[in-house]
Chain A
């Protein structure tokens, strides 16, 4: 029994809840290996990204990011070959600080990252664990570098991230230990996604920033090859990986997370991650431009309608 069991809710089973596949025993070795996903895109090809802003009406800014799985399994199976990344972000504020908070001449940024209990193959608790707090700190450093905090004295802004589905650390067929501690490769992808989606939500909230920050991941595999946007389930042998928060038009890095045996030359890996971040920036740019165009159009139509109303009544 986990120590942090929630007694106030009806809890789901603490183990995995994948649908059973009855046609064949999954654990049969040859069959299991035939289900293994393989990277079909090029080493510098990113997964497709879906991004939308303004998804939470009550928040001052919000965004939703989805990086769907790209591998299609040749064998029919109910278990998806790889996980996909689904993250929702909402911004509360800027709002006046609570009475108890000390005076701050700049904006006070709070980031909360939470995996949904169903976000990973093994259930997460309702209480934030250390990995989630860690992600929150990383995200905060990434965002603090872009926000112009001096424009918001005595105010606080809350960035709340909910991960609806997180990238897993290894392919599910390889994970032997039940719910065991993973290698953590998936967390880098999650962090990069969090940075991009939080950035989009901050733009949506209209908080002043020096640039658009976006996340990107690169990794080195066992044969020394550099791959951008690695999906850990598709690679059996990741040696090192790196996630960055990157400001494209300023060419600056606000957040850097390196993991594993980088070797003699970490710069190529970091550079690869910035290239992946450029891909996220282009998505971000498209989405925001499209957004502002529809918004200005709606505002124009709204004012036109108002004018017509005045003519008819007056």
Chain B
């Protein structure tokens, strides 16, 4: 059966034995149906170890560019860029601004900018992987820092839970009191180049 080019919700796309369901589709009675309005695309399976079936997906006609993303939510294991909004004794609050696609390993050009920021929390024990009991929130982040983090849980009613417990996760842009950009000098310190004054941060490893 040939695939239709355009699909509406409820359009039969093909049997689930011949295709794998991708974004914008769902399975009902062992067949794949469309669940949004858009153009149908069939691509070879991105993960050939688990399945060899071609992936059927539907893209919304509006979002041609990667920046348009009214319809993206943080998922567990997705990398995000967030801004620190508040520091507490046991956790730091942040707002998620940019979300990388779920299967991407890093934030690149196809990351999506959130239409509304999502509130998130970084608990003290999730800031770094080692010597967790010695971590203090104050010495890891400051309000206004941009951080790269990974979502570890959808959390409770309050917000998503983020973690920076990896080398490549942590503060990516830090600013001093005067607004000047601080430069990382080690994995736990940033420095103002002009004055030479250092501040403590959990710094993300540069690529």
Contacts and interface: CB of A to CB of B under 8 A. Distances in A.
A297 B158 CA distance: 42
A209 B35 contact: yes
Contacts of A247: 10
A247 B35 CA distance: 13
Given A289-B6, A303-B64, A96 B118 contact: yes
Contacts of A208: 9, 24, 26, 35-36
Interface string A140-184: 000000101000111100000000000000000000000000000
Contacts of B26: 148, 208, 210
B9 A211 contact: yes
A11 to B, nearest CB: 37
Nearest to B35: A208
Contact of A250 (B6, B10, B157, B160): B10
Given A97-B157, A99-B157, A153-B154, A288 B8 contact: yes
B157 A212 contact: no
A152 B158 contact: no
Contact of A295 (B11, B62, B154): B62
Contacts of A206: 36-38, 60, 62, 70-71
A105 B75 CA distance: 12
Interface in A80-118: 94-97, 99, 101-103, 105
B28 interface: yes
Given A154-B154, A209-B35, A303-B64, A292 B6 contact: yes
Interface string B71-98: 1010000000000000000000000000
Nearest to A206: B60
Contacts of B116: 95-96
Most buried by A among B28, B37, B119, B155: B37
A299 interface: yes
Interface in A258-314: 285, 288-289, 291-293, 295-296, 299, 302-303
Given A102-B157, A155-B73, A292 B38 contact: yes
Contacts of A95: 115-116
A63 interface: no
Which of A60, A148, A207, A211 is packed against the most chain B CB atoms within 10 Å? A211
B145 to A, nearest CB: 22
Nearest to B9: A209
Interface string B38-53: 1100000000000000
B35 A148 contact: yes
B37 A288 contact: yes
A103 B157 contact: yes
B156 interface: yes
B158 A203 contact: no
B179 interface: no
Contacts of B141: none
B1 to A, nearest CB: 16
Contact of B119 (A60, A96, A212): A96
Contact of A292 (B24, B39, B158, B160): B39
Contacts of B196: none
A236 interface: no
A212 B8 contact: yes
A203 B119 contact: no
B10 A211 contact: yes
A248 interface: yes
Residue of A60, A210, A288 contacting most chain B CB atoms (<10 Å):
A210
20 contacts: A95-B116, A99-B119, A101-B157, A103-B155, A103-B157, A152-B73, A153-B154, A154-B154, A154-B155, A206-B36, A206-B70, A206-B71, A207-B71, A208-B36, A210-B9, A211-B10, A212-B9, A249-B12, A250-B28, A296-B61
Interface of B: 6, 8-12, 24, 26, 28, 33, 35-39, 60-62, 64, 70-71, 73, 115-116, 118-119, 154-158, 160
Closest A-B pairs by Cβ, 3 of them: A211-B10, A295-B61, A249-B10
